[in-house]
Structure 1
Amino acid sequence: MNIILERETNTPLYRQIMNQLIYQIDEGILYENFRLPSERELANQLGVNRSTVVRAYDELNAEGFVEKRASSGTYVIGQSEAQAVNHLRERIQFNYQKYQQNDYMTKVEEMIKMDASSVLDAYSGELPYNLIPNISLPNVNWQSFLSVEVSRLGYKPLRKNIATLVGKMYSYEPKIEEIMLTAGGQQSLVLLIQSLLKPGDTVALEDPSFFNGISVLNAMSIKVVRIPIDKDGLCLNELEDAIKKESIQLILTNPNFQNPTGTTMSLTRRKKLIALCELYRIPIIEDDVFGQLAYEAPSRIPLLKELSPQLVIYIGSLSKILGSRMQLGWIEAPVYVLDEVAKLRDEYETQLNIFPQVMASYAVSDPEFSEKLMVLRQTLEERMRYFIEAIKKELSSSLDYTMPKGGYYIWLTYTKRTLIKEDWRLLIKDSIVVLPGFVMSKEMQSCRVNVSRLTTKQIDLFIIKFKDIITQWNKHIEE
């Protein structure tokens, strides 16, 4: 067994160890039941930190190349031809199931792309361009742009502006040194998951939730425990039961205007969640990417981050208010956490582009920005109230819903009979697109509607068409 590490390459050391061991297993150099050197022994041989070898062995174990035997060591797993065939079949079946699950989404996205003007689009997960605050940007000297200094945590003026923005929304202002800029909420989550977890760890997340679609959880063989939510947020009895049964290392939650249900976690539930996680010493990632879109501003409900600054890692986003093309988010966490996240990003990716950072800094520091953000909140609330009044008038006997306290999603639940996927396809045939619950969970009765993408005239048309669809659904009851 021979491993040679290249210190000047961009490939992380643990990955180099993995790649060479996989190659040697593939070539038969390392055969079935071959005992690998202990983690400490191999670390000494290669001149690396023991944790580097631990990570390499853990990921090889998760991917099925080696197995760890109690009080014995780490051994190569042999793979017979039959096992190889079964493994391939499992991968094909997994991909087929993923394709089947996303077939609805593929059809919807094709419709929008081909003829967006003829589709009532309540599916897309972002603001329409005409609602994004219109900010005038100053003339910028190219040379001064290029000479801007940026630390590993990101452009300092923007980090200061973000701290101020959060401070205006909540009775809490982050420390500048605890804010790190990222390329949006998704990147923040991926970096944190990779930094905080190792293959085989377990996370708890809301159900339904967009967290279910984070591919890194599958890639790292992370076990996922899904906890139901109600009108007050995460159901803590179920969460505590899961904690007692599983070794949960992390909890992901979206407590403000949750995606997809639009619900907001109550203050009582927040305090109990913090107490539970402090008892079991489980960190929380608080995803608050819609936080600046509360209808009531400033918010009267404190962040989880406010309630427990050391336990909670906070994620925010500017993409939800400045548009999805402005790929900018931030992580607020203790400095030692940000150090690990920055190291990981440096290993895998280039530095965050300076241009969106500077542009966003100009935008949020504009004297009129606060007023334009307030107008956006008012517009979203008015549109949501109009939509709900229309639902009350025409569809209240068939649908359950809760008025959101912010954001632009509402969760509609059909109450008459059990639906199947084909029922939801009736909407597509009538050029209405929403996000059904089955895309994110096993929920078949509900759908997410992005009300921000519908004008009042379009809402009226949406209700007429949806009412016709529900009439067809209800006919099955009579039959």
Structure 2
Amino acid sequence: MDWKPDRQDKKPIYKQIAEYIELGISSGRFPADSLLPSERKLAKELEVNRSTIVAAYEELQSLGIVERKKGSGTRVSTDIWGISHNRIPNWGRYVEDGSFLPNLPLVQHIRTEVQNNDLINLASGELAPSLLPNDQFRSILSSHPFIENLGYDHPQGNELLRETISSHVKQFKNIETTPSSILITSGAQQALHLIVECLLKQGDAVAIEDPSYCYSLPIFQSAGVRTFLLPVDEHGMNPDDLLSLHKKHRIRMVFLNPDHQNPTGTVLHLSRRKRIVELSVKLGIPIIEDDPYSLTSYNGEVNPTLKSMDENGNVLYISSLSKIVASGLRIGWVIGPPQVIQRLADAKQQVDFGHSVFPQWIANEFLKTDDFSSHIDMIRTQLELRNYAITSSLNKHIGDKVEFINPAGGIHLWCKIDPSIKEFSLLNESMKNGVVFVPGSILGSKKGYLRFTFGRGEPSDIQKGILRFSEALERISAGTII
């Protein structure tokens, strides 16, 4: 056999062998009822362990392609092309071979545990049910007749909502824009996907913060985009780091979360904001500003967004109602140059033929009323209470075993712990004890960190969750759990 498995390939060797044999069967090189090489012989020929061949043959057997009998070896099925044998697709291979990559296994594991078990959730980035404007929505549904057309809406989203968002960002964030420069998306997540898929090509270099939410996203890898890291300190990322990266790698785009950043909670310093905008103009690098949290500042002060400082159209501004109104509403938006917005809108049309009419209508009615401002005031107060619940509990139960910078807004607390502690063991022990968090390795390159998210829990549950976490940490630190 001239063929050899590629040991540099990320695909497991046994799968490469199974695929090679399956291709040989399809081409007639291994005819029906022919005897395949013995496990020992093939292992020697391909220079692999016998167990690897066993795994390859077992995969082929599960598909009905080969038949295995003890003492008789492995044969190509006699009825592989006949009507009495039903062949099924190798769905496992299809799942693994798709170009759109899945979430990280640990992210999937956390999500499954939260869904299937009654855990105190300090991992999910959403608001508690008690913080949602349910009464206001009920009022809208009962007192405002729905008169919208139920056909496909404008490719960029409902025009009335885009007009309302234009007024909204002017009032709250000093951003000057027009409805033609806005695209309604299914939250900020879809906006990020559209930007990566439509505006970047394979091999492009982009800069993301470290740590950051973007660090956990497989969309960059799916698109074949190279990511380079911008370290975040207590004042956000340093513009000089962006300049250095650009000189080395020709950065095509930079992704930033300037206000109450996920996961650190930090706020990008005003002087750094100005410098970043200057560099964007000087180097021609587009800035993707992701702004879900600026309105959650506990003191009510909203920092100047990069978009409000952008005089040249260099900033694509993303925001949503997910972190300040309701994540299930799925209302987000992108603000940018009209030609970019039209390109993104065309791609969104290919995916879903435009956004659903009903949530756009509810969002428009809610944003137009005074109830929105009152709701934001309530959110700020309640998130500050939850912030106090988690920080005071950490100080009480863990003390000098954890370090953090207390955020001035948002829903995340970035904590530093002993880097020698195995974070996966700590996570598993915490989940056994009834609380879940996000290990830092999902969100950044440094060891010894974790993220607590406190927007979803009630203060009493948050306090209970930190107590449970401290018990798990104590057991791990004492070496009673490996």
Q: Same fold (TM over 0.5)?
A: yes
Aligned to 1:247: 250
Q: For the structure 1 residues 90 and 207, does the alpha-carbon distance in structure 2 shift closer, same or farther, using more than 3 Å as the test?
A: farther
1:107-157 deviation per Cα after TM superposition (whole angstroms, max 9, x unaligned): 4333322233xx211111211222112312144556x32268943322122
1:376: Cα distance to partner?
1.3
1:90: Cα distance to partner?
6.5
Distance 1:216 1:104 in 2: 16
Distance 2:289 2:325 in 1: 21
**Aligned residue pairs, count:** 394
Distance 2:163 2:149 in 1: 20
Which letter does structure 2 place at the counterpart of 1:317?
A: S
2:114 alignment partner, SS class: helix
1:78-120 deviation per Cα after TM superposition (whole angstroms, max 9, x unaligned): xx95477864727979969x9999444344333322233xx21
Give 2:181's match in structure 1, choosing from 169, 174, 178: 178
Q: For the structure 1 residues 362 and 431, does the alpha-carbon distance in structure 2 shift closer, same or farther, using more than 3 Å as the test?
A: same
Q: For the structure 1 residues 146 and 429, does the alpha-carbon distance in structure 2 shift closer, same or farther, using more than 3 Å as the test?
A: same
Aligned to 2:234: 231
Aligned positions of 1:66-465 closer than 5 A:
82=4, 87=9, 89=11, 102-116=104-118, 119-134=119-134, 135=136, 136-139=139-142, 141=145, 144-146=147-149, 150-299=153-302, 301-309=303-311, 310-415=313-418, 417-465=420-468
Which letter does structure 1 place at the counterpart of 2:310?
A: S
Distance 2:344 2:270 in 1: 30
Given that 2:290 and 2:318 are in contact with CA atoms closer than 8 Å, whether structure 1 keeps it comes out as yes
Distance 2:472 2:150 in 1: 58
Distance 1:201 1:450 in 2: 32
1:192 alignment partner, SS class: helix
Q: For the structure 1 residues 88 and 234, does the alpha-carbon distance in structure 2 shift closer, same or farther, using more than 3 Å as the test?
A: closer
Which letter does structure 2 place at the counterpart of 1:108?
A: I
1:272-307 deviation per Cα after TM superposition (whole angstroms, max 9, x unaligned): 2222222221110000022332223241x2111112
Q: For the structure 1 residues 214 and 390, does the alpha-carbon distance in structure 2 shift closer, same or farther, using more than 3 Å as the test?
A: closer
Q: For the structure 1 residues 461 and 347, does the alpha-carbon distance in structure 2 shift closer, same or farther, using more than 3 Å as the test?
A: closer
2:471 alignment partner, SS class: helix
Given that 1:108 and 1:428 are in contact with CA atoms closer than 8 Å, whether structure 2 keeps it comes out as no
Distance 2:477 2:7 in 1: 47
Q: For the structure 1 residues 461 and 191, does the alpha-carbon distance in structure 2 shift closer, same or farther, using more than 3 Å as the test?
A: same
1:374: Cα distance to partner?
0.9
Query: Which protein has the larger Cα radius of gyration, Structure 1 or Structure 2?
Result: 2
| TM, length-normalised to structure 1 | 0.75
Which letter does structure 1 place at the counterpart of 2:115?
A: K
Distance 1:152 1:302 in 2: 30
1:271: Cα distance to partner?
1.4
Distance 2:163 2:265 in 1: 29
1:420: Cα distance to partner?
4.2
Which letter does structure 1 place at the counterpart of 2:441?
A: F
1:173: Cα distance to partner?
4.0
Which letter does structure 2 place at the counterpart of 1:273?
A: I
1:330 alignment partner, SS class: strand
1:449 alignment partner, SS class: strand
Which letter does structure 2 place at the counterpart of 1:130?
A: S
Given that 2:154 and 2:354 are in contact with CA atoms closer than 8 Å, whether structure 1 keeps it comes out as no
2:394 alignment partner, SS class: helix
Which letter does structure 2 place at the counterpart of 1:110?
A: T
Given that 2:316 and 2:335 are in contact with CA atoms closer than 8 Å, whether structure 1 keeps it comes out as yes
Q: For the structure 1 residues 321 and 236, does the alpha-carbon distance in structure 2 shift closer, same or farther, using more than 3 Å as the test?
A: same
Which letter does structure 2 place at the counterpart of 1:446?
A: Y
Q: For the structure 1 residues 112 and 173, does the alpha-carbon distance in structure 2 shift closer, same or farther, using more than 3 Å as the test?
A: same
Distance 1:85 1:386 in 2: 51
Given that 2:421 and 2:476 are in contact with CA atoms closer than 8 Å, whether structure 1 keeps it comes out as no
Given that 1:169 and 1:298 are in contact with CA atoms closer than 8 Å, whether structure 2 keeps it comes out as no
Given that 1:133 and 1:373 are in contact with CA atoms closer than 8 Å, whether structure 2 keeps it comes out as no
1:344: Cα distance to partner?
2.5
1:411 alignment partner, SS class: strand
1:171: Cα distance to partner?
3.3
Distance 2:464 2:141 in 1: 41
Which letter does structure 2 place at the counterpart of 1:457?
A: S
- Which stretch shifts more, 148-157 or 160-169? 148-157
1:213: Cα distance to partner?
3.3
